[in-house]
Amino acid sequence: DVKVTQSSRYLVKRTGEKVFLECVQDMDHENMFWYRQDPGLGLRLIYFSYDVKMKEKGDIPEGYSVSREKKERFSLILESASTNQTSMYLCASSFEVVGTDTQYFGPGTRLTVL
């Protein structure tokens, strides 16, 4: 079974704080993704990574950065948290395949920025 874990299920931070969200997968997947999910807006891709130390911007990278120092770990960083970053954050991972990939999601981190 693919297992994607995220460091926290619930997190409360204050405006201006630096926030680290950690994601770990145990299936040796090349690809890792960070999304946020908001009511009425569906899933939006923040950043993704095809390999260690590689990163690509998604649809909404502003206000976020990422780090992938090891294949199994992909971190999302909010440099200075703002209230509009209150959201459910989802990490996913997948194998690189021809055609399309099957992404497996973690349990999510519900972040509240006060």
**List of residues contacting another protein (CB under 8 A):** 4, 31, 33, 35, 37, 42-43, 45, 48, 88, 90, 92, 94, 99-108, 110
Q: Is 7 exposed, middle or buried (0-12, 13-18, 19+ CB in 10 A)?
A: middle
Closer residue to another protein, CB minimum distance, 24 or 90: 90
* 25, 32 contact by CB (below 8 A): yes
Q: Cα separations (Å) of 87 from 14, 59, 65, 79?
A: 14, 16, 16, 16
25 within 8 A of 2, measured Cβ to Cβ: yes
Residue 97 or 114 having the CB closest to another protein:
97
Least separation, in Å, of the C-beta of 47 and another protein? 12
The distance of closest approach from Cβ of residue 8 to another protein in the complex, given in angstroms and rounded to an integer, is: 13
Whose Cβ is closer to another protein: residue 54's or residue 79's?
54
In the complex, least distance from residue 94 CB atom to another protein, rounded to whole angstroms: 7
